[in-house]
Amino acid sequence: MGDPDEPAAPRTPDPAAGGRPPGRSQGQSVPRWAAVVMLTRSVLVTAGLVAAYYLLPLDGGSTAKTAALLALGLVGVALIFAWEVVVIAHSPYPRLKAVEALMSTLPLFLLLSATAYYLLERAAPGSFSEPLTRTDALYFTVATFATVGYGDITAQSQTARVLTTLQMVGGLLLVGVAARVLAGAVQAGLRQQRDRPPE
């Protein structure tokens, strides 16, 4: 053994034994420009979605039309999420890409739910405890997602309660299952980086 007052020499992992080669960390450090681009892109996507929510002409249709819109929207969210998982697994910065995926998918899910509530109230007035403006619908959606549920706006009709239940289940899936899937995609991306030969 050496002198106990001497610091131990740093250990270099043996690549043959499954360690990372020197100079290669688990996941490269993210350049500042990549983080700025990701944040800017996420903010622009969210701003575009919110603008579309407030500016698109959403007129009241039937409750069947509202349910079909919600179903198609949820399928769209699932397809976008699946595509994001593939992109994350092949990204040079998988952690950063996973954050971007959540920052884009979550607002889409929330705005889709708010749109369904708004259209339902237009198609079947009295579905909620008070008439919903677009802002009221978004507020109700976020309060439900955050499990705050102030109680000032409540679902009154059976259809509104079913939609609210679907949003709650979707929110749990988005937070729980989606987070797990994204973590798996990040790990796959990091494994690919580790297994690439050094340049």
CATH number of the domain residue 36 falls in: 1.10.287.70
* Residue 139 identity: Y
Let me know if 6 is exposed, middle or buried by CB neighbors in 10 A (0-12, 13-18, 19+).
Answer: exposed
Q: How many angstroms separate the CA atoms of 131 and 196, rounded?
A: 57
Show the domain range for 107. 30-195
The pLDDT of residue 68 is 76
Would you say residue 77 lies in a domain? yes
* Structural domain total, the chain: 1
Of 20, 25, 41, which is closest to residue 87 (Cα–Cα)? 41
Q: How many angstroms separate the CA atoms of 119 and 133, rounded?
A: 10
Q: Where are the beta strands (DSSP E) in 45-149?
A: none
Would you say residue 23 lies in a domain? no
Q: Is the pTM of this model over 0.95?
A: no
Q: How many angstroms separate the CA atoms of 117 and 144, rounded?
A: 12
- Greater model confidence, 44 or 80: 44
Would you say residue 173 lies in a domain? yes
Would you say residue 76 lies in a domain? yes
pLDDT (tens digit, 9 = 90+) per residue, 105-125? 889 889 999 998 998 898 889
Q: How many angstroms separate the CA atoms of 78 and 115, rounded?
A: 17
pLDDT (tens digit, 9 = 90+) per residue, 153-168? 999 999 899 988 988 9
